[in-house]
Structure formats: C-alpha cells, structure tokens
Amino acid sequence: MTTRDDHAEHRPVTAGTLAHRVPDLGGLELLLAVARVGSLGGAARELGITQPAASSRVRSMERQLGVALVDRSPRGSRLTDAGALVTDWARRIVEAAEAFDAGAQALRDRRDSRLRVAASMTIAEYLLPGWLLALRAQRPDTAVSLLAGNSASVAERLLADEADVGFVEGLTVPTGLDSAVIAHDRLIVVTAPSHAWARRRRPLAAEELAATSLILREKGSGTRQVLDTALGGLARPLIELSSTTAVKAAAVSGAGPAVLSELAVREELAMRRLIRVPVDGVTLARELRAVWPTGHRPAGPARDLLTLTRG
C-alpha cells in the first residue's frame, strides 16, 4: 500500500534556495562520468572516490530531485530516461562552472602579478628590503612597488586602495584598519661623539630629554608618536625632518641629539659615529605592525609577504 508520505519522499523540493534544490557540482560531475564510462564503479575510479561513496552521492541526488537517475544491476549501471535528461542539463552547468573557475583564476593571476606595499620609514629602510628579496625568490613574476612615508600616510594609502598591505610603527592602529604585530623595536637616544651628552656618566633623566630640543621626525610619524606619548610632550624641535636617514645624518653631523630606532643606527653605533645615551624613567619600546583594511585579510603575494615577516 502506498501512503501519502511515500509520494512525498519522491516529490521535488520547491522551497528554499537553489543551493538546497540543485545537486552540487561533485554530484553532477559524477553523473556525467557515469554517462561517459557506462558504470558507477568506473565513474568512481575516474573521479578518485570509492564506489560506496559514489552510490551514496547518487542516492542523495535522487532524493533531492525526487526522480531515479541510475538503474543498478549485476551487469552494471545505466542512466534512466530522467537521468539522461538531468545529465544533459548537468553538462551545461559543469561547463558554466568551468568558465567561472577560469575567470576566477584569471582574477587571481592579475592580483598575483603585482604587490603594492606602503610602509613607514624605519620599516621601509631597514626591514622591508630583506623581506622583499625573500618574496622575490618565492614569486619572481610578481612586480612589487614600495610607497614609503610616515604611519599616517600608510593608513591613507590603504584606505584609498593605493596599497595592498602596509607596515606602521605607531602606538595605535588607525581607524578602518586591522593589524598584526610582526616585530618589536626600541627607540634610543643618540648623539655625535662631540656632543656633551656623549660624555655623560649618569643616564639622562626623562624630564631632561622632554625639555631638550631634538632632531625629530615630522608629525604623523610612528617614531615621533611613541616618543611624544612616552615623555608626555616634547620641546620645540631643533630640526624636523621627513625621513629616518635624514635625522640620522643630522645627528652624525653634530647638529644635536636624536631619538631613533635601534634598527637604524646599528652600523653608526658600531663605528662610533653615534653614541648611545642611556635614559632613566621612560620605556621607548614599540610594536611594529602589518596593517590592512578592516575585513580584507591579505591574500596572494601580500599574504606571503606577511608570512615572511614572521620567519
């Protein structure tokens, strides 16, 4: 005796989204393989799945569509009339999916052909060259452009879609950006050997540093932001310059004391072209961060570059 529920089991589902009403691509590819090789076992081998898995997938499609698709017998499997018709439709869907996949690959290839990096000055000058050389070894066909500026300008470029990934040195992450810490750095006070601070026997007090006119980076730089926050304010700059290299050169020339990243002055300290001045009462450590627009996690070359920064 046939019940109402027996009919309902084979009735096509008409509600819900297409994703619930149309078999997935794996099932459609299996159906095409059955039509091509003439057996469910052969189709399973061609697609690299087990025969039980293939049988289960066919049964799932039959329940979903409400029609029998494959007749199974000891002699093999063949498509039913409905199965042949569904297979014809499936062929068009799979061809469209292949075209979609080719288009998506073309988009990935275009994305992967270039990488736009924006970085604050210390990172751009002392860390990124090594990272980019390593990236080139991995992705020789990717053209890389580097836009160097202060931390504020890095944020502006990312938010204007002028860069794919950025690197900053400040204390805070600009609004609209997500971030990850990639390294740690410390600012130190340096002077030329001829400066009076180079002959000090006691550490410099934080209050004296704050009250001294220094050679400084411009406003908006991560270095200046960290220093200003740590000291609770700065005296009027002795000189204000727009790059780490320029600040370092001015300090080496004897123009006055400066506060710079340890990364930037290793060579000058080793050669005693600059002298480190100890400071008491203040910590000038900072985090170096990778940044990107909120909700747009780096992909392709940008993702690979981030991996290299943590290597």
**Are 103 and 243 part of one and the same domain?**
no
| Inter-residue contact 112 to 302 (CB < 8 Å) | no
**Are 232 and 128 part of one and the same domain?**
yes
Which of 80, 110, 140 delimits the end of a domain?
A: 110
**Are 135 and 253 part of one and the same domain?**
yes
**CATH (domain of 78):** 1.10.10.10
Q: How confident is the model at residue 110 (pLDDT cuts 50, 70, 90)?
A: low
**Are 97 and 154 part of one and the same domain?**
no
Q: How confident is the model at residue 204 (pLDDT cuts 50, 70, 90)?
A: very high
Q: How confident is the model at residue 205 (pLDDT cuts 50, 70, 90)?
A: very high
Domain count, the chain: 2
Residue 148 lies in domain: 114-309
Q: What's the rounded mean pLDDT across residues 43-54?
A: 89
Looking at residue 24, its pLDDT comes to 86
Query: What digits encode the pLDDT tens for the residues 58-104?
Result: 888 888 888 898 887 767 678 889 888 988 898 888 888 877 877 76
Cβ-based neighbour number of residue 38 at 10 Å: 13
Query: What digits encode the pLDDT tens for the residues 121-180?
Result: 889 989 999 999 999 999 898 888 899 988 889 999 999 999 999 999 878 888 899 999
Please tell me which residue, 310 or 110, carries the higher pLDDT value.
310
Q: Taking CA 177 as the corner, what is the angle to CA 130 and CA 106, rounded to the nearest 5 degrees? A: 70
Residues 6+ apart with CB under 8 A from 16: none
Q: Does pTM top 0.85 for this prediction? A: no
